[in-house]
Amino acid sequence: MSTLAAAGIAAAILLFVVLPSILIIVTEYERAVFFRLGHIREGAKGPGVVVRFPLIDRVVKVSLRVEVVDIPARAAINADNVTVQVDAVVYFQVLDPVQAILGVDSFKFASQRVAMTSLRSIIGRFELDDLLAHRDTVNDELRDKIAQSTGAWGVEVKQVEIRDITLPAELLRAMARQAEAERERRAKV
């Protein structure tokens, strides 16, 4: 009976300790990038059950789903020398998991930083009227600028949307006075 119990314990240890370290489950929306003794293995693996050798293979899972990155409100000076607060949302997706791991330390963090700096530079090229009236043009230019950097990392920028453009309070008051003067002028005519 003791040898049977010892065999059962050994089987349980094998089942619950060793087997999970050998078999990796990669979901449908993920790919596994393998490093064997520090060298990248050919292509990304998955989806399904993938076998790895413990202590020899290191596995990094990469999501292929579209990821959303919020760009917090940043002060930017536009072509009219007006300081505006602009925030945006960037949607990106990993197309090449191997390049996303090899090309940059953290593709999520790097994509966010590229988007933040690109936002300021693109906003600086537009006048205030164009910024407010032609957001689609600004969004397209911003997407193209971000995609230039992230493309080398195997990451595609799907969409960029400027969420909000906040004008300084004194500019809002001046615009309100101008609109009221315009309404009074029309009322007299």
- Cβ density class 175-186: b for 16+ within 10 Å, e for less: eeeeeeeeeeee
Task: Specify whether the CB–CB gap between 159 and 91 falls below 8 A.
Answer: yes
pLDDT (tens, 9 = 90+) of the chain, 189 residues, equals: 578 888 888 777 777 777 778 889 999 999 999 999 989 988 899 899 999 988 899 999 999 999 999 999 888 888 888 889 999 999 999 999 999 999 998 988 999 999 999 998 999 999 888 888 899 999 999 999 999 999 999 999 999 999 988 887 777 677 777 777 777 777 776
Residues 6+ apart with CB under 8 A from 54: 18, 21, 22
CA neighbours within 13 Å on the CB side: how many for 155?
32
Tokens of 71: 């760009």
pTM value?
0.79
Nearest to 65 by CA among 100, 35, 95, 37: 95
